[in-house]
Amino acid sequence: MTKTDDYDLLHCSAGHFVRSTRGTVGVSGNDRASFLQGLLTNDIEALSSGRGCYATYLTPQGRIITDMNVLETGNSILLDVDIGTTHHLVERFNKLIFSEDVQISDLSNTWTQIGVRGPHAATALATVLAETDLEAVSLHASKFLEYDDFQTGRVSYLDEHVLISRNDDVGVVGFDVRAPTTLDTELRERLAATGAVSVDERVLEILRVEAGRPLFPVDLDEGTIPLEAGIEGRAISLTKGCYVGQEVIIRILHRGQGKVARKLVGLTVMEAASTVPMRNAKLFDNEKEVGHITSAVQSPALGCPIALGYVHRDYAAPGMQVQIQDQSRGQTGTVTKLPFITL
């Protein structure tokens, strides 16, 4: 299948992929929630069994060490993070344990992780799990679609426990499957048999940028304050107790009225014969450098290149124009409200 075929498939049916860039940190023990409550930006103690949230772990200066999906499974908390940060996070958290009943471990190689995305993702998953029992397929699909974002359920498949988590990270209905590695081939073949074939991960990148979702460590890194990236509404609880970096966040929100020096924005390139800008291409207002691009793709839906990037706050309003300096090319980008596309 071509990228165009995969793009259409994810908008009208479903497809699957191996989540090879994601790692899993397991946090167990009776004090797991209170331990993470003092470290992460969201309200971990408010999560009941099966619930989840999006959060960040910050430096004392309020910069992002990593972001994560937090999944409370009932007997442990799973931190779904970029694979490159897993080892560092385990080491760092283990050093912070004193008398708490908490165990931290890298579970990345324990399971296979498969993402299923698209409007028919729930039906594809239910068909695999329930096989020929059509009534069970319908019940499973309905149940999955009722999941809130990051809600996690445990199901039995071939006498093994499988975790299903809701994750609409690229702007379409999505689920993440965690299963023993021995089931990897079996699950992927059965998903493909339902029509949810393997898709090119470059197409997922297109959907992600169209949805305006920043990705760590591409659009977010250790120099980023959450408010610069516009993720504070999803990642930060304003009612919980203390966490690392909170003082900086509160100071910006209250004394600074939420103002930060730069903002993550969408950019649309509408010029004839325009090309996709390169990552880190600089943005200018005449000769004044005002920002840079972090992600860029060709949008099939819009028929033009689009990008995510940081600009000085004076240039963050929709409709503002900046010049994109990409090697020898020069193009104009128009600041566009995110998401670019709402499905």
What's the rounded mean pLDDT across residues 53-68? 98
What's the rounded mean pLDDT across residues 253-276? 89
Question: 262-343: which CATH topology?
Answer: Elongation Factor Tu (Ef-tu); domain 3 (2.40.30)
Residue 138 confidence (pLDDT): 78
pLDDT digits (tens, 9 = 90+) for 68-125: 999 999 999 999 999 999 999 999 999 999 999 999 999 999 999 999 999 999 999 9
Q: Which of 26, 31, 36 has the alpha carbon at shortest distance from 104?
A: 26
pLDDT digits (tens, 9 = 90+) for 148-194: 999 999 988 888 999 999 999 999 999 999 999 999 999 999 999 99
Buried b vs exposed e over 95-129: b needs ≥16 C-beta within 10 Å? eeeeeeebebeebbeebbbbbbbbebbbbbbbbbb
> What band does 240 get if pLDDT is binned at 50, 70 and 90?
very high
pLDDT digits (tens, 9 = 90+) for 285-331: 999 999 999 999 999 999 999 999 999 999 999 999 999 998 657 89
What pTM, to 2 d.p., does this model score? 0.95
Residue 131 confidence (pLDDT): 65
> What band does 22 get if pLDDT is binned at 50, 70 and 90?
very high
> What band does 198 get if pLDDT is binned at 50, 70 and 90?
very high
> What band does 257 get if pLDDT is binned at 50, 70 and 90?
confident
What's the rounded mean pLDDT across residues 250-274? 89
Same fold, 1-260 and 262-343: no
What's the rounded mean pLDDT across residues 184-210? 96
pLDDT above 70 (res 227) = yes
- Ordered by start, the domain boundaries in the chain are 1-260, 262-343
CATH class as words, domain 1-260: alpha beta
Residue 86 confidence (pLDDT): 97
pLDDT digits (tens, 9 = 90+) for 124-151: 999 998 765 556 677 778 989 999 999 9
Residue 136 confidence (pLDDT): 65
Residue 330 confidence (pLDDT): 80
Cα distance between residue 14 and residue 172, in whole Å: 10
Residue 129 confidence (pLDDT): 85
Cα distance between residue 118 and residue 302, in whole Å: 19
pLDDT digits (tens, 9 = 90+) for 333-343: 999 999 999 87
